[in-house]
Amino acid sequence: MRKISIKILLISISIINLLGIYHVIFDKINILSFERLDHGQIITNVLSWSKLNNKNADKYRITLYDINNNIILKTMSENNTVNIDNLVLENNQRFFIEVEATTKNGNTVTSQQYSATFKKPLKKVGPIKSSRQSGKISGRKQISLSTITKGATIYYTTDGSTPNSSSQKYTEPITINHNMIIKAIALKDGFTASDEVTFTYELISNRPIIYLSPSTQKHNKGIKGSGYTNEREMMNKIADVVEKYLKKYNIVVYRNRPTMTSTTSVLDSQKYDVDLHLAIHSNASPDNVKGRYRGIETWVWDSSCKESIRIANILQKELMSIYPNKQYDRGVLYSVETGGLKETNPDNVNNGILIEVGFHDNWQDAKWIVNNIEKIGQSIAQGVINSYKEEEV
């Protein structure tokens, strides 16, 4: 139930209606305030007004009419409040209110009549939330904006101006690559705008933070005679090279340990607020075609991971530039379509990418990996560096 206090010359009228949420809009008046009052399932409407400026008034006659002058309600009150049960006024219904001040013998002292329209107020779009609280950040971070109101569109600015429907429409995460103030509102037809929100980010370093997660799967053996021992050993050798080159560019690097699992690697990565979680693996063909597959592939979670896809394409291109057989470019793939890889899941890591640098059960691929550890590691590092060139790494 809503109570709406309205000032009308000498009369102050308020109406409470549990059937819906209503504003009452009178001709040539100002709505002063409204508040919610709940009374369970009882439908109670209250009219209240200030005492008319006449000392002889003892009673009040209240009459409500529709636009055809039919009486909706007629009642009496000895004070300035009257409860009216089962009053039904539909949204946008035009009506008239008449309050007559009378003496006890029924003589009218004075009266006032005003027209009004019940208006359902618009619901308000829910508050906007950011995936990252305001504060200091390092590296190339992304923030996501959201509202619980389905179908609402978020508009934002980054220049300190007030956002409106002509501002930038939010369609994908916003990259924070310099000090930034984001102001946003959310709009939806049939709703009032959300409250404006402001998020302030101070970039203390534009150097990206990378988490390297070479495979810890020591039981994945390479094809005999190729020199490829096991996946854990070979991928850690590649990661050694990647780390070396990244650190030359003053990129912050964290890394898993060979004794970890993919689960503990994810948990470790979460500690560092990284810009990129990069898992480095080698591949194996299905058992029924063992040794027949070749090539390089790079995995992200799904098509919504725009930043991961951008970086993954750069990494895939770099690796294919040194791979001897271009026809085996297996491309950038979505792991969610094959059950999901936890090190690509955005719920687990930020910008998770998993590279398969070749098939260790294929002779040509296994030999290529063994003979090109330095070149593969340098190529991956260069891909990461190229991904952040615009940030002046």
Would the CATH topology of 2-119 be identical to that of 123-205? yes
The answer to whether 157 touches 168, Cβ cutoff 8 Å, is: yes
Task: Quote the pLDDT of residue 52.
Answer: 45
Question: What span, in angstroms and rounded, lies between the C-alpha atoms of 314 and 381?
Answer: 11
The three-state (H, E, C) secondary structure of the chain, written as one string = CEEEEEEECCEEEEEECCCCCCEEEECCCEEEEEEECCCCCCCEEEEECCCCCCCCCCEEEEEEEECCCCEEEEEEECCCEEEEECCCCCCCCEEEEEEEEECCCCCEEEEEEEEEEEECCCEECCCEEECCCCEEEECCEEECEEECCCCCEEEEECECCCCCCCCEECCCCEEECCCEEEEEEEECCCEECCCCEEEEEEEEECCCEEEEEECCCCCCECCCCCCCCEHHHHHHHHHHHHHHHHHHCCCEEEECCCCCCHHHHHHHHHHHCCCEEEEEEEECCCHHHCCCCCCEEEEECCCCCHHHHHHHHHHHHHHHCCCCCHHHEEEEEEHHHHCCCCCCCCCCCCCEEEEEEEECCCHHHHHHHHHCHHHHHHHHHHHHHHHCHHHCC
Task: Quote the pLDDT of residue 331.
Answer: 97
Task: Quote the pLDDT of residue 207.
Answer: 85
Task: Quote the pLDDT of residue 171.
Answer: 94
Question: What span, in angstroms and rounded, lies between the C-alpha atoms of 388 and 393?
Answer: 6
The answer to whether 346 touches 271, Cβ cutoff 8 Å, is: no
CATH top-level class for 2-119?
mainly beta
- Please state the domain extents for the chain: 2-119, 123-205, 209-391
Task: Quote the pLDDT of residue 255.
Answer: 97
Look-up of token digits 């206090």: 5
pLDDT block averages, 10 residues each, the chain of length 393: 33 35 30 27 44 59 79 76 54 68 65 55 88 87 93 96 96 90 94 94 88 97 95 98 95 95 95 94 95 97 94 97 96 94 94 97 97 98 88 45
> pTM score, two decimals?
0.65
Backbone angles phi, psi at 236, to 5 degrees: -70, -30
For domain 123-205, the question of CATH label 2.60.40.10 is answered with yes
Among candidates 75, 67, 118, which has minimal Cα distance to 96? 67
Amino acid at position 174, single letter: I
Question: What span, in angstroms and rounded, lies between the C-alpha atoms of 140 and 274?
Answer: 9
Task: Quote the pLDDT of residue 232.
Answer: 97
Give the list of residues 6+ apart from residue 41 with CB closer than 8 angstroms, or none: 18
Q: Which CATH number is 209-391 given? A: 3.40.630.40
